[in-house]
Amino acid sequence: MTEKLQKVLARVGLGSRRELEQWITEGRVSVNGKVATLGDRVGESDVVRVDGRVIGQAAMQGPERRVLVYHKPLGEVCTRSDPEKRPTIFEKLPPLRNGRWVAVGRLDVNTTGVILLTTDGELANRLMHPSNTVEREYAVRVFGEVKPDILKRLREGVMLEDGLARFNTIVDAGGEGSNHWFHVTLHEGRNREVRRLWETQGITVSRLIRVRYGPVQLGRRLRPGRYEELEGEPFQALLQLVGLARKETRPKEGKGAGEKARAGKGKGSEPGKAPAPGARRTKPRIDSNGEPAERGDPAPRPRSVPRGRSGGDEPSPPPRRAPSRRKPGTTERNRRG
């Protein structure tokens, strides 16, 4: 059985299909010693090289499929390296032994909110592809008077430089004057599409936050610059959304489950703040500054009492006496001899 070359390389985690198609066009990929071309298919017996490095058959089966939910802060870019030396979203992610993190789409430097990253390039490609119509939701703060006829035009469709575009839904989220908020949804991710749509109506977007990507919500407790790993039902819901069958998982990279927990406590999710894996995520409330509103800190957990000790002023139980070592059948008369 053979598969398209770019699909196999995407599964390895080298990048999205779009990126890898560019690599093939640039002559960076070879199959059995010959420079590959778009449309090539490979099987188990083929030798694939990228930049001269052989991609082993084990690696071509793909790393364990994982997804991170990252809260992108203001000022970070979604590229791996930036000529202007601005911080990137990849600097705060946990390291991988095999493969690399692939971003599902991009957010511009002035947009904050949820962005997904995965080790599976095929999953990233399906989540981004327009044919799968994965819905994105944004909280938008606008400056300018928004009349009903403007909202009607934005729902029906406006012609942009790259074609017709529209919002699927627009919900008034309150506020007054220069602090008026709307929640909008759309099924594609063109460059700066939300901002450009509003600008066609003479409305300026002063704040833009992506609060949902498909079924994945931006959790209240996920602070900017932090991440959490998607697991359980939310993870399976994301796979089912794009038609990917459940994949058998392998042991976590590193030193087991503890490694994953420690990864989230470093530059990732804040200890004590991230919700439990698989927990239901609720739609965030946006405050007047555009930040997701927080609840109070959780109550402290009661201290456990060590086993074998008592709590309070009660005395500890007396130690148990050691059993007698007398041999069976020994009598007082036998001992006197």
Q: Give the span between the Cα atoms of 42 and 3, in whole angstroms.
A: 6
First CA to last CA across the chain, in angstroms? 88
* Residue 108 bears catalytic tag: yes
Query: Can you tell me which residue has the tokens 């919700």?
Result: 275
Give residue 105's region: left, alpha or beta (phi > 0; psi -120 to 50). Answer: left
Question: Among the options 82, 108, 162, 287, which is catalytic?
Answer: 108
The answer to whether the beta carbons of residues 103 and 124 sit under 8 Å apart is yes
Closest to 213 in 3D by CA, of 100, 11, 70? 70
Q: Give the span between the Cα atoms of 336 and 133, in whole angstroms.
A: 96
Q: How far is CA 336 from CA 48, 325, 329, 332, in A?
A: 89, 18, 14, 7
Q: Alpha-carbon Rg of the chain, whole angstroms?
A: 28
Known catalytic residues are 108
